[in-house]
Structure 1
Amino acid sequence: MAVKNLLKQERVDFILQRLEELYPQTPIPLDHKDSYTLLVAVLLSAQCTDERVNQITPALWQLADNPEDMALVPVEDIQAVIRPCGLSPQKSKAISKLSQILVNEYHSKVPENMAALETLPGVGHKTASVVMSQAFGHPAFPVDTHIHRLAQRWGLTSGKNVTQTEKDLKRLFPREKWNKLHLQIIFYGREYCSARGCDGTVCEICTTCYPNRKNPKKTKKA
């Protein structure tokens, strides 16, 4: 008797259960000590690994670890420290400018507000979502390249773009699970369902959701 591919709700239920078994604890991958250092670390992680960011930030926090001090550090000094993260000219300017804005407009505090965060230099929707969920505990579902790829492989979204993927995932999964689940999916993607390590026909979740899938699942880029 042929094994059937799981229906969408069955896939959702299985994914939630399996990820909870694999990753009951979800430590935040970026080292930080408060909302400001998390904001800067997330900004640095664009097109850079979390591991690399964690190697760089201790030296950056020695220069400054709060908006008042960072606003006084010359941009070229910031850039010299963060160069290994890539895109250092843009990132160093963004860190300097957002620090000045936090001092001048937000009493040196990171705003606990999605719209306000998205107006800061170098802070897009994904970065703002990470800060809202991980620094302040508000339900958010930041979609990075891992999550965008896995959501397509698991048949949870058409994957037209990250905005659509985020909408689809928010509709499918309970709101109270979002913050933990987004980290669980990232951890699973790195460990079992990476871009090269799985093509939609290799890892446990892909093969359980789609036992009849014969060909690699082509995923649309974010």
Structure 2
Amino acid sequence: MILAAGRGERMRPLTDQTPKPLLTVHDKPLMQWHMEAMAKAGFHDQLINTAWLGEQIESRYGLNPNLPEVGHIRLRYSHEGQAFGYALETAGGIVRALPSLAAIFWVVAGDIYAPEFNFSMDQWQAFERSPNLAHLWLVPNPPHNPGGDFGLSEDGQALNLPKPNQLFTFSTFALYKKEFFDPLWTGMPQGNPQGKAAPLAPLLRAAMDRGQVGASLYSGPWTDVGTPERLRELNSKP
């Protein structure tokens, strides 16, 4: 699942006419870097949630786009804007899409640039065998998030620690099992028919406290393309 529903307020005025995941880095839409990387790793069935200017995303890619180097992939959409008139935030959007997702699935934000991230089938299989319900990839803290988000134990578990412990930033790259989004934890039935908008971080912190979230440290290039300045900087590099 590629998260593509946000308004991108900090990216204005660029996002006044274009959804942020369609903004380009090196002549390729941000979200397409993920789409191609997933397909290269063997994950050809993908889902995109939309809200702000979401019709542009489906118009661009349709249901069976032919992408460079990877060929055709199969897309589904969860059009939160069409259904409710607003974006459902990360947890609300995932629960809305849950009926169309596999028992284990990747999630990444469509406005992240990490061209070397590997959606590894080996990692997927290791996660399938583990008792964890989620596995996150953490990155060294960027200047805009110096305090970080979550801790990381020596045995590879994500930790809900208060600042100023050694914390890392959540990259948005993650694997989840459907059980993570059980109504017992989310308060939302599968499919989120009421259109509840809900953030993901409280669910992650609660699951970390239950010992159900693994984590890995990713040290490759990674940028949260949240401002026009960051976008210009990326495009100025070779």
TM-score normalized by the length of structure 2:
0.26
Structure with the larger helix share: 1
Identify which of structures 1 and 2 has the higher relative contact order when contacts are C-alpha pairs closer than 8 Å and 6+ apart. Answer: 2
Structure with the larger strand share: 2
